[in-house]
Amino acid sequence: MRIALLPLVALLVLASARSEAGSPASEVTVSVDLTPAGAIKTFRPDEALGAGIDGAQKGDIDRLFTAHNIAAMRSAGLIPLTYRLRTELGIEAWHWNPEGAWSDPEHSQGYWTSSDRPGRPVLLSWGYLLPRRGDTVDNANNTGYSRLTDGDAATFWKSNPYLEAPYVVDGRAHPQWLVVRLDAPAPVDAADILWAEPYARAYEVQYWTGRDEYDPQGLWAAFPGGRVQDGRGGEARLTLAQHPIETQFIRIRMTEGSHTAPAGADDPRDRLGYAVREVSFGRKQADGRLEDWVKHAPSHDGQTFAHVSSTDPWHRAVDRDEDLEQIGVDRIFASGLGGGRPIMFPAAVLYDTPDNAAALVRYMKRRGYPVRQIEIGEEPDGQYGEAADYGALYLALVDRLRPENTDLVFGGPSLQSAFTDTWMDPDPDHSWNSRFVRYLKARDRLADLGFFSFEHYPFDDICGDLHARLLEQSRMMDQLLARAAAEGVPRTIPWVISEYGFSAYSGRAMSEPPSALLMANIVGQFLSGGGDAAYLFGYGPNVPVNQHQPCAGYGNMMLHLADPSGQAGARTPAYYTARMITRDWLTPGHGLHRLRATRASGGGEDVKAFAATRPDGRLGVLVINRSPTSAAAVRLRTLGGGEQRPGRADLWLYGPAQYHWRDAGEASRPDLDLPPEHRSIAAGDVFVTPPDSLAVLVASGIRPTRP
């Protein structure tokens, strides 16, 4: 093997290269291994680099899916598409087809199954609120509330009946629980539990011993009087302790149900699980009354926080959430987004029924739509349910779908994050994902995980030193890939980032040059680390928002800024980065590309580089300069270059000279918005990347050494 420099036809004098601030540029050598040993992965851009379409608020789907916006989105070059299911985040059932049937048609209520018969095109679909909800907050619009602390004895929470036989047959029990978090630690020695049907015959009232919910030394301990083996439903008034125990978190863990149902209920699912109308915890007074620390109100802001292990997907026609829209199945396929390739489509599992998911798959097949991957559920770890419960629902749905769909690949879990540490959990293994994999292995069903998906939003805090965040993201990516492998996720199946962006909370960092650097590095590093596909979140035009911290300013994950009518206007760094990756660094389409082992030396952690040999025989090199102050004078070296010819190279540069975001609250917008600079240089020229910039160099005449 030998090291070959590209012919230096017009070598720049490195000492003369200066950053805009006048400081000397860092001398950086990018070394690309073109030997057989340097080939680390093959991929096709129209399979690996995509974007996602999410649920929306009322009217947003119609504003988004115009010919103008679709053309604008497609022009970014991100071909594969994933359909994101916001109803799963909002604790809602999904009527993916407005036509369908209720289990109790006389009252337009019960368990819904959308029609699998193609009829009028489905252009819009909606989520339906679950009136048996137990969670105070959710991860979507967050307008709902818990029925456990709403002050209404006529309402109740009920656990998911699909976690019991005959729907789940795994030889193990699936205890269910509810947790209440008081506003502050308080002395507790008594409880009032108003049960509904079915009630728990065996349950335990517990308190958390930790100093907070993340205390690794914390335990769930039973109150001395908290163990009940002969529950009879109705109102249970319990003396939990002779002397009050101070705690902030209280849990009821239910292990045996009554299998009773409300009067007149004849659906077998009405008898499965556990149901509770209201809970109160506090201190027993001398007159026997309970001094209740729980705040009861039909509002997620006014009530004491409650969280549950699962929720019954039973609902009514009147529960339609007009403010949670999903694009219709027919409309998404007719839009042309996805380029005619299979769309990674979701199947709801946490708050829906297997019948409804099976009908969706039949419908798409009857329409002849290209579907290959079915992603089961969305962010189950972020909902803090039990991994074994999700695993049971996952396998039950796979068993339901597979016999008629042997051509489909099922996967998930679409983790909220690849770092899945659980809260208020005494198990030494705090990883939700590890427990999910363990569950599959225990049932000898790991092979039923056809692909592994997770979301990647590295930072909640997007204030302060963003460049330090960019360096930290690189380390995080290495850690999460290693961690998922250590947790037992097979490396033989596709790994997919189903959503990625700077943060789950909007701010100006998403609309400034660092967002371009983050996007490019996530794509390059994930693919180089063995990943198979990454989907950008924020495909459609949007408006500047601040969601989390005032210091984060205004911005959003978006390719285009939306005008007042919701139409794509000014372009953002994400747009130009997508085009540089898909149309400049790589060749567009289905051509086979091969990533090469690449190292940037001389720029410290600030400079990253990724290289790929392209199907047109050229070498594409992506260089990311994350320094906020120093330019980088880049020289390319190849190891084992094979056939080399002098010639020209194409260079694209994108950074502060092309783009500047003006942070002005809701009126924020770019006041400089130019495409990347493109020029032709001699193949061996040293090129200078300014601070905060991306560069793509495409050189001809580079052939990998044959084995």
Domains by residue range for the chain, with CATH:
3-41+592-699 (2.60.40.1180), 45-89+326-585 (3.20.20.80), 157-312 (2.60.120.260)
* pLDDT at residue 684 tops 90: no
Average pLDDT over residues 282-308: 96
* pLDDT at residue 21 tops 50: no
* Helix or strand (DSSP H, E) at 438: helix 432-442
Note the pLDDT of residue 703. Answer: 66
pLDDT tens digits, 243-261: 999 999 999 999 999 999 9
Residue with the bigger pLDDT between 216 and 149: it is 149
From 68-77, 353-362, 542-551, 587-596, the region with the lowest mean pLDDT: 542-551
In the predicted model, what is the mean pLDDT of the chain?
A: 93
**What's the CA gap between 93 and 85, in Å, rounded?**
10
Note the pLDDT of residue 384. Answer: 87
Q: The sheet that has 677-682: what strands, in order across it?
A: 39-43, 593-596, 607-613, 619-625, 693-699, 648-654, 677-682
Q: What is the CA radius of gyration of the chain?
A: 28
Q: Are strands 220-228 and 290-292 parallel, antiparallel or unpaired?
A: unpaired
Amino acid at 162: Y
Q: The sheet that has 320-327: what strands, in order across it?
A: 92-95, 124-129, 320-327
* pLDDT at residue 580 tops 60: yes
pLDDT tens digits, 164-196: 999 999 999 999 999 999 999 999 999 999 999
Average pLDDT over residues 573-591: 97
Tokens of 430: 């705090």
Average pLDDT over residues 395-412: 97
**What's the CA gap between 310 and 305, in Å, rounded?**
16
Q: How far is CA 44 from CA 47, 78, 401, 582, in A?
A: 5, 12, 29, 10
Which distant-in-sequence residues (6+ apart) come within 8 Å of 234 by Cβ? 194, 195, 199
| 385 in Cβ contact with 350 (< 8 Å) | yes
* pLDDT at residue 588 tops 50: yes
Amino acid at 691: P
What is the pTM (predicted TM-score) of this model?
A: 0.94
Tokens of 97: 């087809």
| 493 in Cβ contact with 539 (< 8 Å) | no
| 685 in Cβ contact with 12 (< 8 Å) | yes
Average pLDDT over residues 280-307: 96
Note the pLDDT of residue 123. Answer: 98
Average pLDDT over residues 456-480: 94
Q: What percentage of the chain reaches a pLDDT higher than 90?
A: 89
Q: How far is CA 138 from CA 52, 95, 135, 357, in A?
A: 21, 19, 7, 22
Note the pLDDT of residue 12. Answer: 29
* pLDDT at residue 84 tops 80: yes
Give the long-range contacts of residues 609-613, CB within 8 A, separation 24 or more.
609/30, 610/524, 610/525, 610/527, 610/528, 611/30, 611/32, 612/585, 612/586, 613/34, 613/702, 613/704
Note the pLDDT of residue 706. Answer: 58
DSSP 330-348: HHHHHT-TTTTSPEEEEE-
**What's the CA gap between 693 and 359, in Å, rounded?**
48
Phi, psi of 404 (to 5 degrees): -100, 0
Q: Half-sphere exposure (CA, 13 Å, Cβ side) for 454?
A: 22
pLDDT band of residue 666 (cuts 50, 70, 90) is very high
Which distant-in-sequence residues (6+ apart) come within 8 Å of 517 by Cβ? 470, 624, 625, 626, 692, 694
* pLDDT at residue 15 tops 70: no
Average pLDDT over residues 192-205: 98
Average pLDDT over residues 19-35: 79
* pLDDT at residue 77 tops 70: yes
Which 3 state secondary structure label does DSSP give 480? helix
Note the pLDDT of residue 2. Answer: 30
Q: Are strands 235-239 and 220-228 parallel, antiparallel or unpaired?
A: unpaired
Note the pLDDT of residue 14. Answer: 34
Per DSSP, which regions of 38-156 are E strands? 39-43, 49-53, 81-83, 92-95, 100-104, 109-114, 124-129
Average pLDDT over residues 683-695: 93
**What's the CA gap between 262 and 502, in Å, rounded?**
48
* Number of other residues whose CB lies within 10 A of the CB of residue 546: 20
Average pLDDT over residues 373-383: 95
CA dihedral for 593, 534, 602, 15, sign (positive or negative): positive
**What's the CA gap between 233 and 263, in Å, rounded?**
14
Note the pLDDT of residue 645. Answer: 57
Q: What percentage of the chain reaches a pLDDT higher than 70?
A: 95
pLDDT tens digits, 91-145: 999 999 999 999 999 999 999 999 999 999 999 999 999 999 999 999 999 999 9
Determine the number of helices (DSSP H) and then strands (DSSP E) in the chain: 11, 40
* pLDDT at residue 641 tops 70: no
